Structure 1
């Protein structure tokens, strides 16, 4: 199961029959990823297969995007219906809020199968739903209890993992494997090209769903607010805030589940330290961007969302001047009624299970915690 830059690119080209990847200078991240897997992970067959599938999928999507630009350049000059984009630290309720807002029939949010394969292959039958569904079934067999942590199905709205990954600057690989060297590289990168590519994807998706507002979500956006708004100035952002210690403990629980099924032993302390550098570093970028772009962001607190999600939805609509129609109200109320907290079981985790101390975590997020009222003790056990 080789992990070689040239071979991965050749594989994607064989699968699509396409060859033009655009500016290959922005593929440095793929080379860094391959090196990091070899140096950091002590890869098994399963981990190599996992990385290979992710990398080739991103390359396939990139090839199809460049081909779309060649064949239909007018798409990329069209205006967007102002997209509504949800972000926040991982494990802060972004998935619930995203799917609630997506319930409005005037909105469109990518189901998992379309998020992973936004452009169909040039073949007679569109097999994207089947292929993604098969891959998800295998993943759920490997990661038992995944739905308790992050409920997922082939047809439910999912985050912008693959549309954000076209330049190989993405959190996706860290969530899959402990690629420490890759994270070090990622934190030093300018995000301009990443969000230009993201804008191109939004144009493609808007053309496929004309008239509907795209409702999107990715915690990864917290570190790219300035670049996102430069590339997509019409974007309307919603950011959720939760005690970062709680969110961090939940995130470590998640990646312990996902990484643990594709690798053997892992240095828990090193994984937590790297996760902390990633999330705290991204939050520092967020705080800097908010000095200039705070008016573009609607802030929502996690406890507010849990207590009265419909009131949160109404406030977002009001603050972003969106029409809260009778159809929107009925759909949102139905979603909330059918998706109570812990519907798929309780996700249990504790800060006591962490290898690094709570004080260290809180110190890393001190500026954020002080700014949003999370500076005091918040408790040790959470769900």
Structure 2
């Protein structure tokens, strides 16, 4: 079947999403720019296999359908917008720096709220407090993660997660089609360049806030703990939407970080393409990491440094509790005995390398470690990050 004249592939995906959920209203129309650029970039540059193309289209339709459902809930319950998101704690740590483990430990505090994996996949209908631990979407998410482990067998080593554990807001940013999520599995340089240098992320973060309000509406608490490494890239937009946020930032030798991130991208990409350019992955990840670090350092140096709590990888891995005590003091909160016990139980149940190790070769991505460390000398000096032994 030929495409109707003048109709883009993005428009066709929009129509398929509307038909799938029998809804029409997407809310703010700003998402369309990112969607058009993303789909055009993927069609021209991603080198998808047939399976990869189908998976990409399915993801786009799913995100559009979730966006339609979010707006439908707001239309039927406008009081949701009266919810307030106050002083969230947001993690900006680079990937592969212990940020996932820290996020999971913080989520063990029963007084805080976080985005659970199953909520990130399917936020609608908004959860209820009385069924948050028995919601049928938990089992659905577990089945989805089991399929992921078959498709991406090394991911459970690289990024271990559970259906009820914390996840990032990348998916909700994806509903607005301004998210690093897409470049993690697709070669889309045109879209990535637009996202990094020309996209306006303020509406995206307003949308994320909209979804957070929906999630806490019937399912408190309301003291949010969030984490997303790519927030460093868009820190000024994030600050405009969450001006009272405070931040933690994890640090590690860049020579251990960037090659490991490249390996994650490779593991995801190879399931969707037979032509994965590993050297492209090396430069892409080096470039966005540098850009994000320079932007967040500039933000900190512009009078915001006291809003940040810094954590170094090695001491955190050795014993996180002295650091967690200091983080709670930074927040003006107390680390209760119950929370500490829950954190300890999580740590014992999820030891580092529980599923094995994930070795990687920097040279496979065109990375010279000495040159990489020299390139990021500004970061190592600013945060006193020593090269790994």
TM-score, normalisation: structure 1? 0.91
How many Å apart are 1:363 and its aligned residue?
4.0
Are 1:269 and 2:279 an aligned pair?
yes
Q: Do residues 368 (structure 1) and 379 (structure 2) align? A: yes
**Which residue number in structure 1 is paired with residue 166 of structure 2?**
157
1:324-353 CA distance string (max 9 Å, x none): 222212211222222222112112224344
Map 1:230-249 → 2, pairs under 5 A? 230-249=240-259
Is 288-297 or 308-317 further displaced after alignment? 288-297
Residues 1:186 and 2:195 aligned together = yes
CA contact (8 A) 1:222 1:286 kept: yes
Larger mean Cα displacement after TM superposition, 348-357 or 297-306: 348-357
**Distance 1:73-1:294 versus aligned 2 partners, 3 A rule:** farther
Which residue does the alignment assign to 2:55?
50
8 Å CA contact retained: 1:19, 1:63: yes
Is 1:204 matched with 2:209?
A: no
Most deviating of 14-23 and 363-372 = 363-372
Pick aligned residue for 1:87 from 75, 92, 104: 92
Greater alpha carbon shift after TM alignment, 204-213 vs 100-109: 204-213
Do the aligned residues in 1 keep the contact of 2:114 with 2:166 (CA within 8 Å)?
A: yes
2:266 to 256, 267, 270: 256
In 2, the alpha carbon distance for the partners of 1:36 and 1:366 equals 33
Cα distance in 2 for residues equivalent to 1:152 and 1:46: 25
Structure 1, unmatched stretches of 5+, are none
Q: Cα offset for 1:27?
A: 2.1
CA-CA distance at 1:17 after TM superposition:
1.7
Note closer, same or farther for the CA distance 1:207–1:19 as it changes in structure 2 (3 Å cut): same
Secondary structure (helix, strand or coil) at the match of 2:225 reads: strand
Q: Which moved more, 1:95-104 or 1:180-189?
A: 180-189
Match of 1:118 in 2: 123
Structure 1 segments (4+ residues) deviating >6 Å: none
Q: For structure 2, list consecutive stretches of 5 or more residues without a partner in the other structure.
A: 128-133
Partner of 1:238: helix, strand, or coil?
strand
User: Which of 55, 69, 75 is the equivalent residue of 2:74?
Assistant: 69
**Pairing partner for 2:43 from 35, 38, 41:** 38
The separation in 2 between residues aligned to 1:148 and 1:29, in whole angstroms, is 32
The answer to whether residue 233 in structure 2 is matched with residue 223 in structure 1 is yes
Residue 70 of structure 1: CA displacement?
A: 2.3
For the pair 1:59 / 2:64, whether they are aligned, the reply is yes
Per the TM alignment, residue 81 of structure 1 is displaced from its structure 2 partner at its CA by: 4.6
SS at match of 2:38: helix
Matches for 1:341-360 after TM superposition, within 5 Å: 341-360=352-371
Structure 1 residue matching 2:175: 3-state secondary structure: coil
Indicate if the aligned counterparts of 2:96 and 2:260 stay in contact, CA closer than 8 A: yes
1:13, distance to aligned residue in structure 2 (A): 1.1
1:250 deviates by 0.7
| Alpha-carbon distance in 2 for matches of 1:281, 1:230 | 19
Displacement of 1:212: 4.3
- 1:18 corresponds in structure 2 to 23
> Is the CA contact 1:44–1:262 (under 8 Å) kept in the aligned structure 2?
yes
What is the CA–CA distance in structure 1 between the aligned matches of 2:74 and 2:126, rounded to whole Å?
15
In 2, the alpha carbon distance for the partners of 1:331 and 1:55 equals: 37
Structure 1 Cα separation of the partners of residues 374 and 176 of structure 2: 32
Deviation per residue, 1:174-194 (Å, 9 max, x gap): 112121221111111232111
Alpha-carbon distance change, 321 to 293 in structure 1, aligned in 2, over 3 angstroms: same
Q: Does the Cα contact within 8 Å between 1:223 and 1:282 map onto a contact in 2?
A: yes
2-structure distance, mates of 1:202, 1:111 = 11
Correspondence for 2:130 = none
Deviation at 1:223, TM superposition (A): 1.6
Q: For the structure 1 residues 194 and 212, does the alpha-carbon distance in structure 2 shift closer, same or farther, using more than 3 Å as the test?
A: closer
Q: Secondary structure of the residue that 1:282 maps to in structure 2?
A: helix
Aligned 8 A contact 2:45 2:189 in 1? yes
Q: Specify the alignment match of 1:166 in structure 2.
A: 175
SS at match of 1:349: coil
- Of 134, 142, 148, which residue of structure 2 is paired with 1:133? 142
Separation in 1, partners of 2:190, 2:345: 45
Q: CA deviation at 1:75?
A: 2.2
